[in-house]
Structure 1
Amino acid sequence: MMDQVSNHSLFGCLVTWAESSIDGYNGLRKANEAFLKAVIRYSCFNELHLFLHEGQISAFRQDWKEYLRQYGAGKNINILPVHDLPSCFQRHAYSVFHCGDPYISDLAALRERHASSLFPITGRAHSLSDDARLSRIRDLIFSPVKPCDSILCSSKAQKTVMKRLISSASASVSDTVGRAVPYRGQVSLIPLGIEPARQEAVPSGAGDVLQILCLGRLSAADKMDLHPLLLALNDLFEEGTVSRFQLVIAGAGDASGEYVRSLLAQAYEFNLEDCIRFELSVDDEKREQLLAEADVFVSLADNVQESFGLAPLEAMRAGIPVILSDWNGYRDLIVSGQEGFLIKTTSADHDDISRSLSLVSKTQAQLIQAQGVAVDIEALKTALSTLLMDESTRKAMSGAAIRRVNETFSWPLLIDQYHRLVDDLRQEASRIRHHQGRAVGMPYQDVFGHYASVALQETDFLVATDRGLRVLLMSERGFFFNQLSHLLDKNEIREVIRKLVTPQSVSNMQKLFPERQTLLFLLSWMLKYQLVSFSDEAEGRKPSFPGLPDWFKVEDPCQVCGLVFPEQLRSKWIKPVITQYVRLIQSYVNDIDSSEEGSESSLIQSIAQSVIEWMDDRLLQAIGWFAEDHTLTSYGEVLKLLESKGVEALIEAYPHWYRNIQKEFFQHVRVIRSLLSRVKQDLSEINHYFFSGSRQLASGLISIRNLQLDSGSPVYQLTFNNGEHLVYKLRDLAIDQLLVGYEQSMAQSLNGWLQDPDALGVFRMLNKSFYGYVEFIASETVSESDDLETYHRRMGVAAGFCLMSGLTDIHSKNLHLSGNKPYLIDAETALHNPVIMQLQAELQNPELSFLRGMQDSSLGLTGLMKVWENFHICQIRYSSVKLENGELVAEQPQTITAFLDHLLMEKGRHSLDGCHPPVASQYGKAFVEGFRSSVSAISQYSEQWCDYLKSMTGFEVRYQPRWNLNDARKQFRDLHVVRELQVLSRERLKGYLLRLAKRITLAGEVSQRWLDAPWQEPVSVLAESVAEGWQASEQRDFVRKLGESGVFVKRHDGTLQEVSRDYFSVNTIEKQSELIASLADHKLRDRFLNACQQMIEGWFEQHINAGEGMPEELRQEVLEALADRERKA
């Protein structure tokens, strides 16, 4: 072995090393290896002793061979096994002995036992949150550590933590032995370093899309949580601030683990999946490539184990501006605003739920602490938008980052500092006294409480964010780690959000939840996930509206007799509304009412009855809120309290509810007035066109019945005093006339080509441009048909007709049967883009295009095939409560009723009997026969058919955007049934609705990413119109004019407002004409029809799912009714 030599400097080191291929990237090991390499390259030590476990030495020699050859040639470097430490301590006087770990007690003990002379020991502190029991810190206190020994801390924050840990450990010792035992070593500050950077700025990543790089281990429990970054990017993306970027999340992680999956799920929910790339395997070469391509680096450390941040330093060395959380050692890396930005963090004292837990589950305790640290998302958004949008700022910060690295963190400078420290260590000493009464486990708040920029105070006011409201209303799922499930409960989260719809102080929340010991953690976590935010207002600004009108207060009994009220006790608040409603329409009713003078008006009774049903729903909802606010469920008690306070209490408590009722009331009045005046004006034409062959002409109306479902233009059944019925539709009927009208329509022509005048039903129609009248066809049930072969053949004809017309939304209610003849009730969706696009794909390759089955085929997209599967209809309820046995209870969001018009019944079997093959299977060939004949006839007369299509230019059709319609309907219902939305200011409600509309429409755009560019639709431009409609209590339809590129929104009065002039890229008239013309080629037509036939027959035989989506309870009711009917028969 080597002898001690005078003036000979000897550096010893206990090396922590592992093959990267085995363990992947490890920050602690990386930092220790970087320090060791810097000592080898830049230090003045003559000799180095590197100690490793014996089994590692061979691989270490091979791995470090090139580096040692290049930079260590001038030094005497010995690689030794750790078991040689005692003998080496005896034989050598080390200038310093280093350990890549702060717990140097074992080395001090070895030195005490074996060294012939004293030498300094240094240990590098890294994560200091691992020793929850403080046992290793106590070991330091009790060990023979000397004033010549020092623990090296990389940041000021870490140095403070180290001192606090020592203080806590000393206190625990004092509690046990009754005497304070000081730590006798030193705690010094020497940052970690990096190789010097080139002086010139490094160009930003190539390409048109700016790259945001997050580099580090993918773990929320011991690294950082990236969900807040996604929340910020989601805001910027949906607000339109930043539209193009790529977020690269790089580092060791488990692709199937909860954390990565949660990031992916949130990215999909926020429509960001195309903007995010994961790199879960990052070696040194890949790391350099990612840094070379990045434009912005982001690291939002929130974990107490993080103490410095090598990855940000690497980014700065590469000339990349950094965005860092204002947390621990990160705040030492940069000056915010010069080399990048520090983002404010907020935390609170969570020790009551994590300190004791740290003894048994350190990882979970650290996760709790980390989840209780919130970054300022607004500041993060500002930093991101600045660096992404301002190239000059990026360049300036790039140069500043390089200078900062070279002037503060370069290894040559830091190794010089280390040499000076080693020279001084024998003269330094530190003694620390400890206090009694410390709790067991890691005192996170005492030790790390200073990490966050600010602490959550009892005097702070918090308020639910729009994201919080979306989570409350389940329009957004939200996320928390499974390890926190004992601390976070979805229902409790929603309950806290509900209380914070208006600003509340933290202290008041503690009073509201006195038994919630973890409330501070919950609030901190909610801050972190942008569910709540700090509020400058002590109280929210509640919207106010004028009180009840004078006419409501006048005791004027309702003059309309025969009205039925759903419940008599609350009817007294509805009757004044009905009385006023009747006043407003009375003169219009008188002009068209056929009732004799002095007799009861059945017309006004029918109109008023529909208003009662609507008004009762709205009133019951407010009463339900009122009951909830006063913790009552008894209907009688609620009404008694409401009577004592007056109905004004509802208006004051729920102002948006009152405003919405006002809007709906006057909309309804305007629609009915308009209808009545139009019928009076058009009565002569109506008699001439519809009733000229009747025994008696009509002179007035006797009733009006609302037929409108959840959406669409208003539709009413009109009953005239001659016993005849018509349907009034508030839309242009030109497209219906051309398709299924009684004269010179496409359906008539097809019937002629097929030589079957009853193949498709046609209607008499009187179109008045903005509205029109349609012949009323009473629907029969299929079970009444004695010729199911003909029924299915004609349904096949209807399917071919719909496909060749590009129709969609052909559901059971839209397809009536009369005289075994199918009638298309509404043909307002002609030339629908998805149907035509899919038909085009099928004609390009018929043999392969139908492999995905009926649902994704052009025929499936018409909706007509659902007639054999759907035997129920759903209608949204606009009240979330109902009265049951004198109690107010929760109501289902939809009314679901059976609709059996197309139910097949034959020889003891029916469509819902659950047997295989289904009863419809035997009629598949009849359907195919009708379908083939229809498509073939249209193809043979393609010129005439295309002429029809071209004549559609300028016709209005309903446009169904490519989005989730259920999401839009849910939001419209929420406006009527969610109590929390009632207290929002009008401005905030407007912003909330617009944001939600943007999300729904953006999701529609993202869902089209696989489509060819011409077929993609810019759905997000509809967001403002959607939100405006919601706020105006309107479910607005969108309209396109065929042959044109614009899209319009239809208002409640039937008028159109242009939304976008350049919305559609494909002229569907030209495209469908082109496809029809191609079918004139009999070879292509036969290929298409043969492939389609194979799909249809297979579907009828094997894939019909009769009763799809029908609730089981309703199915059983239907089955019992059918069985009873069979028994009676």
Structure 2
Amino acid sequence: MRRVAALHYHPDGYGTAGKPIIGRRVAGEEFLRALVRHGGLQALRALVQDRAQAEAFRAHVAAIDPVLETSAHTYEDPAGFDDAGMIFVPGAAMSTYAWWRRRHRQDAFSLCGVTHTTATDRAMDAIGDLLVAPLQPWDALVCTSRAALGMVRRLLDEQGAYLRDRFGTGRIEGPLLAEIPLGVDTASFAPLPEARQRWRERLGIGAEDVAAIVVGRLSQVTKFTPAPMYLALERAAQGASRRMHLILAGYFEPEQARGVFLDGAAALCPSVTVHHVDATEPSARREIWSAADLFTLPVDNVQETFGLAPVEAMAAGLPVVVTDWDGFRDTVEEGVHGFRIPTLMGGPGADLALRYAAGMDAYSNYVLGASLGVAMDIPRAAEAYRTLVEDADRRRAMGAAAAAHARARYDWAAVIPRYLDLFDQLAELRRGGGERTPPQPGREPVPLRPDPMRIFADYPTTAIAREMRFALAPGAGLDALRARARVPGVVGRGSLLPTERQLVAMLTRLAEGPATAAELAALAPPGRGARGLVWLLKYDLVRRID
């Protein structure tokens, strides 16, 4: 069977080059590469806004597989996706695409979105809109972890209860919810012995020293509060038989976070030697893993939903010490691949929600405020660090188990087939029918984005009608048409009008005698004919006759 896939393509969603390295960009970049490499595709389509995006898409795919058939289609050509059967959207905001599809045919193809950050107001609105937009049983939202799935279900449950109460209806449903993790190219994280020696010499890490590493965005606001980690590291370092190092590999966001991380380390873990490496540089990003003996990331922030970094660390053969939090709870098996440190959440949160919703707090203050109510077990973290520092055999065993686990479950070669199975499931549901809220004849398919000529019908004296009759204005013809068209401002949005040849055909017909609007409009493509007739009337090339 010929397998064709499609995705909504915008360069910002599928590339990290020249941009801050954030989770959704890394995930999008890796997903596209993996879909091309492991999807068994004969063709890949893209939904784009313009020619520049189309060219960027073709170049992007060609760099991965120069022989894969590609095509790009704008929103004006939904039929270009009928053979694909689905369009992947790199986020949870699927409602726009569902309304767009409704103008075409709701059973033409499925839509599949994926969660990234779910804590922003925009993300929550997008998830809530899934119950209002015309999503169908053959659409799906992929949640990347059990924690993300639980959050989405709670949000939809609350929104659904409100909608049922508000409108007195019994059935409120959204798309299918599926759980599929993010993936990594595990081979690209294989340890590099030469890089290990080079980086450890550069940083002054001795052969018997033990280095922990944090890789990612160094932000207390949107990633994690470093102070508890420092307290645990200091407890582990005191009395340790080996010198301990901590490598902070990433970039500070915002730059003021430099003091939070570096000054905080100096104050709270003076027994640990702390290094900062700017891992946004490609070679450093690839090599720095090899300098470490263990990975740690004690996230306490609701911004996180899956967490790629621990999976990347496991692929690099590192044991991990992470908080028992969000997606980490799925990816790391306690005592096998490393340690998951228990977390506790508590305190009020309604005030945070109110201030954020009212615009009193920015998103950064909202998530930072929420992290105040999250704590990890510092003694347990210190014990985990001490275990891995003192026991080289345990480090090696856990690192080997982690690498095998990452290859088996989180390599894209294992993840992409799960997406393909989901796409096949959606296709089967589509074939089974059961369309929800089909468009009704005479009604707007997209109520809040209607045809302006219909919704503003009370503005003009009258509207054009098929039976209206028109005649050629005195002196009208090709020369007059071209003279009008040369005047600045006369041909605004000319691509929406009939061609010059089609307009001349209208004038030629009227030279034979009066004609109806229906007859004249038929001389140009549907929709453009009537618009072209009004344009001729607008510039006194034709006249209405009673």
Name the TM-score, length of structure 1 as normaliser.
0.35
Instruction: Say if 2:53 is the partner of 1:57.
Output: yes
User: Match for residue 423 of structure 2?
Assistant: 422
Give a deviation string over 1:403-448, Cα, whole Å, max 9, x none.
10111111112111111111112455999xxxxxxxxxxxxxxxxx
* Range moving further from structure 2, 395-404 or 362-371: 362-371
Give a deviation string over 1:922-948, Cα, whole Å, max 9, x none.
xxxxxxxxxxxxxxxxxxxxxxxxxxx
Instruction: Say if 2:26 is the partner of 1:30.
Output: yes
Q: Map of 1:212-223 to 2, 5 A cutoff?
A: 212-223=212-223
Distance 1:40 1:199, change over 3 A: closer
Instruction: Say if 2:10 is the partner of 1:13.
Output: no
Instruction: Say if 2:274 is the partner of 1:284.
Output: no
CA–CA separation in structure 2 for the residues paired with 1:116 and 1:91 = 12
8 Å CA contact 2:232–2:382 kept in 1: the answer is yes
CA–CA separation in structure 2 for the residues paired with 1:101 and 1:297 = 28
SS at match of 1:142: coil
8 Å CA contact 2:186–2:312 kept in 1: the answer is no
Distance 1:92 1:142, change over 3 A: same
User: Match for residue 351 of structure 1?
Assistant: 349
Give a deviation string over 1:257-294, Cα, whole Å, max 9, x none.
0x321222222224639711122452332111111211
User: Match for residue 412 of structure 1?
Assistant: 413
Distance 1:358 1:180, change over 3 A: farther
Q: Percent identity?
A: 26
Distance 1:131 1:172, change over 3 A: farther
Q: Map of 1:247-262 to 2, 5 A cutoff?
A: 247-254=246-253, 256-257=255-256, 259-262=257-260
8 Å CA contact 1:201–1:398 kept in 2: the answer is no
- Out of 98, 103, 112, the residue aligned to residue 88 of structure 2 is 98
- Out of 302, 307, 311, the residue aligned to residue 309 of structure 1 is 307
Q: Map of 1:231-250 to 2, 5 A cutoff?
A: 231-237=231-237, 239-241=238-240, 244-250=243-249
Distance 1:234 1:13, change over 3 A: same
Give a deviation string over 1:119-140, Cα, whole Å, max 9, x none.
1111011111113794323321
1:341 to partner: Cα distance: 0.7
- Amino acid in structure 1 at the alignment position of 2:128: R
Which ranges in structure 2 are unaligned for 5 or more consecutive residues?
Answer: 198-205, 436-546
User: Match for residue 159 of structure 1?
Assistant: 149
Q: Map of 1:826-975 to 2, 5 A cutoff?
A: none
SS at match of 2:11: coil
Distance 1:21 1:402, change over 3 A: closer
CA–CA separation in structure 1 for the residues paired with 2:300 and 2:40 = 38
Q: For this pair of structures, how many residues does the alignment match?
A: 417
- Amino acid in structure 2 at the alignment position of 1:64: H
Distance 1:191 1:382, change over 3 A: same
Instruction: Say if 2:34 is the partner of 1:72.
Output: no
Give a deviation string over 1:800-835, Cα, whole Å, max 9, x none.
xxxxxxxxxxxxxxxxxxxxxxxxxxxxxxxxxxxx
SS at match of 1:193: coil
1:298 to partner: Cα distance: 0.4
Q: Map of 1:779-858 to 2, 5 A cutoff?
A: none
- Amino acid in structure 2 at the alignment position of 1:366: V
Give a deviation string over 1:933-980, Cα, whole Å, max 9, x none.
xxxxxxxxxxxxxxxxxxxxxxxxxxxxxxxxxxxxxxxxxxxxxxxx
User: Match for residue 385 of structure 2?
Assistant: 384
Distance 1:193 1:112, change over 3 A: same
Q: Over the residues paired in the alignment, what is the CA RMSD in angstroms?
A: 2.9
- Amino acid in structure 2 at the alignment position of 1:75: L
Q: Map of 1:319-330 to 2, 5 A cutoff?
A: 319-330=317-328
User: Match for residue 372 of structure 1?
Assistant: 373
8 Å CA contact 2:45–2:84 kept in 1: the answer is no
SS at match of 1:136: helix
CA–CA separation in structure 2 for the residues paired with 1:87 and 1:392 = 60
Give a deviation string over 1:128-159, Cα, whole Å, max 9, x none.
11137943233211111011000011111111
8 Å CA contact 1:199–1:402 kept in 2: the answer is no
User: Match for residue 227 of structure 1?
Assistant: 227
8 Å CA contact 1:14–1:52 kept in 2: the answer is yes
SS at match of 1:114: coil
Which ranges in structure 1 are unaligned for 5 or more consecutive residues?
Answer: 1-6, 432-1129
User: Match for residue 169 of structure 1?
Assistant: 159
Q: Map of 1:537-576 to 2, 5 A cutoff?
A: none
8 Å CA contact 2:236–2:383 kept in 1: the answer is no
CA–CA separation in structure 2 for the residues paired with 1:243 and 1:174 = 62
User: Match for residue 1117 of structure 1?
Assistant: none
Q: Map of 1:323-722 to 2, 5 A cutoff?
A: 323-359=321-357, 360=359, 361=361, 362-427=363-428
8 Å CA contact 2:246–2:272 kept in 1: the answer is no
8 Å CA contact 1:345–1:375 kept in 2: the answer is yes
CA–CA separation in structure 1 for the residues paired with 2:171 and 2:136 = 13
SS at match of 2:75: helix
1:234 to partner: Cα distance: 2.2
Distance 1:17 1:143, change over 3 A: same
Q: Map of 1:1103-1114 to 2, 5 A cutoff?
A: none
Distance 1:291 1:264, change over 3 A: same
- Amino acid in structure 2 at the alignment position of 1:231: L
SS at match of 2:112: strand
8 Å CA contact 1:38–1:415 kept in 2: the answer is yes
User: Match for residue 295 of structure 1?
Assistant: 293
Q: Map of 1:89-128 to 2, 5 A cutoff?
A: 89=79, 92-115=82-105, 117-128=107-118
CA–CA separation in structure 1 for the residues paired with 2:320 and 2:115 = 24
Distance 1:274 1:392, change over 3 A: closer
1:354 to partner: Cα distance: 1.3
CA–CA separation in structure 1 for the residues paired with 2:223 and 2:52 = 28
Give a deviation string over 1:518-571, Cα, whole Å, max 9, x none.
xxxxxxxxxxxxxxxxxxxxxxxxxxxxxxxxxxxxxxxxxxxxxxxxxxxxxx
SS at match of 2:304: coil
User: Match for residue 744 of structure 1?
Assistant: none
Distance 1:57 1:283, change over 3 A: farther
CA–CA separation in structure 1 for the residues paired with 2:370 and 2:189 = 40
CA–CA separation in structure 1 for the residues paired with 2:259 and 2:174 = 48
CA–CA separation in structure 1 for the residues paired with 2:379 and 2:310 = 21
1:29 to partner: Cα distance: 1.2
- Amino acid in structure 2 at the alignment position of 1:405: A
1:181 to partner: Cα distance: 5.0
8 Å CA contact 2:189–2:316 kept in 1: the answer is no
SS at match of 1:276: strand
Give a deviation string over 1:1068-1127, Cα, whole Å, max 9, x none.
xxxxxxxxxxxxxxxxxxxxxxxxxxxxxxxxxxxxxxxxxxxxxxxxxxxxxxxxxxxx
1:104 to partner: Cα distance: 0.9
Name the TM-score, length of structure 2 as normaliser.
0.70
CA–CA separation in structure 1 for the residues paired with 2:230 and 2:347 = 26
1:161 to partner: Cα distance: 1.3
Give a deviation string over 1:151-200, Cα, whole Å, max 9, x none.
01111111111111111221232343343552231000111111244999
- Amino acid in structure 1 at the alignment position of 2:223: K
1:343 to partner: Cα distance: 0.6
8 Å CA contact 1:86–1:114 kept in 2: the answer is no
CA–CA separation in structure 2 for the residues paired with 1:348 and 1:370 = 10
Distance 1:112 1:271, change over 3 A: closer
- Amino acid in structure 2 at the alignment position of 1:244: R
